Amino acid sequence: MSAIRSRTARIGLIAALVGTLALTACSPRSGSDDLGLTPTPTPTETTPSAPAPASTCENVPGEVQPSYSPISPDSIPAGSTMETIRNNGVLRVGVSADTLLMGARDPLTGQIEGFDIDVLHEISRAIFGDPNKLQFKVITSAQRLEVLTPDAAGNTQVDIVARTMTINCARWETIAFSTEYYGAGQKVLVASDSEATSLRELEGLGDQKVCAPASTTTLTRLEDEFPGVEAVSAATHTECLVLFQQGKVDAITGDDTILAGFAAQDPYAKVVGDAFSDEPYGLGMPADKVDLVQFVNGVLDRMRSDGTWTSLYDKWLGVLGPAPAPPAPVYGR
């Protein structure tokens, strides 16, 4: 039996697993549901942080935009954003529930887990002395900026977004980023019997459909740099995987972290080629919460130096190879 026929025979089983993840990711569960907390605490008044100063920004391949200099995560200054979060009792976070290895809901336990999630646990530990004071809001890639944008009353839906979000200038215009906490790269996933060894080779095969999530740098690059394939957008990476399993697209392009999770789910798929982009992941925060960005940068610095970052890499991303050195922070904003 050919690899593609074998893969087709297993569509039911794998699609069922993916469907479970997709349903939980799209369900209206609140962070309160995830933590067993009701009702959602009402934010308390605090002195607003200074707005982020304007700065020139240019996307340069291989370079990461600077963030704000860190402050010590060992104390919570009076009147700070961190004190407000602590008084509210939870850190509100926007996450994925269907990105295996980074942020995905375990279909057996119902818990959201992954590399992104464990980074958030460390921030919770620094604020509360408890790693589990997290209130999850499951979001799509397209919602990452929306949930950090203040409403008419100046409130945001979450305090931090940790959802495989690439740091770039366009996003810096509306939100603030931590320093880089993981360096990903864009690759392509194809059927195990595909002749293509790169996304560029897919162009030469003709009539190839390649999926990427809407409102991502991945989709933009696919549309701009690979005109020889048909770009197909979906709401989430999981929806791309469903289309791939159903034979409606020939490949999926995305960050290596995400595709590694897909390959782990489908033994009849493979990730091919070298990374053809730099995707520096940052934690997103509201643009005016500069003190929170500085505090988070202090937590990330500590994770780099005390071995926590390497331990998390080995736990979740060891399938990508031996742990590299943690991304060096860039300051100067």
Stated as kind and residue range, the H or E segment containing 149 is: none
Task: Give all strands of the β-sheet with 134-138 in edge-to-edge order.
Answer: 134-138, 91-95, 160-162, 284-286, 175-177
Residue 313 phi, psi dihedral angles, 5° rounding? -60, -50
The pLDDT of residue 61 is: 67
The pLDDT of residue 56 is: 67
CATH architecture of 28-49+59-183+280-320: 3-Layer(aba) Sandwich (3.40)
Q: Where in the chain is the domain with CATH 3.40.190.10?
A: 28-49+59-183+280-320, 186-272
User: Could you tell me where the beta strands, DSSP code E, fall in 4-151?
Assistant: 91-95, 98-99, 103-105, 112-113, 134-138
Q: What is the pTM of this model?
A: 0.77
How far apart CA 137 and CA 94 sit, in angstroms, is: 5
The CA-atom distances, in angstroms, between 187 and each of 64, 124, 208 are: 20, 32, 16
Topology (CATH level 3) of domain 186-272: D-Maltodextrin-Binding Protein; domain 2 (3.40.190)
- CA 240 to chain centroid, in Å, comes to 16
Tokens 């860039």 locate to: 330
Q: What is the mean pLDDT of each run of 10 residues along the chain (333 residues)?
A: 42 43 38 34 44 58 88 97 98 94 94 97 98 97 95 96 94 97 93 92 91 89 93 91 94 90 86 88 98 98 98 91 93 94
Structure tokens at 235: 């709401």
The pLDDT of residue 62 is: 67
Q: What is the pLDDT of residues 272-285, one digit of tens each?
A: 888 888 889 999 99
Calculate helix-pair angle for 237-245, 256-265, nearest 10 degrees: 40
The CA radius of gyration of the chain, in Å to the nearest whole number, is 20
The pLDDT of residue 65 is: 93
Q: What is the pLDDT of residues 90-143, one digit of tens each?
A: 999 999 998 889 999 999 999 999 999 999 999 999 999 999 999 999 999 889
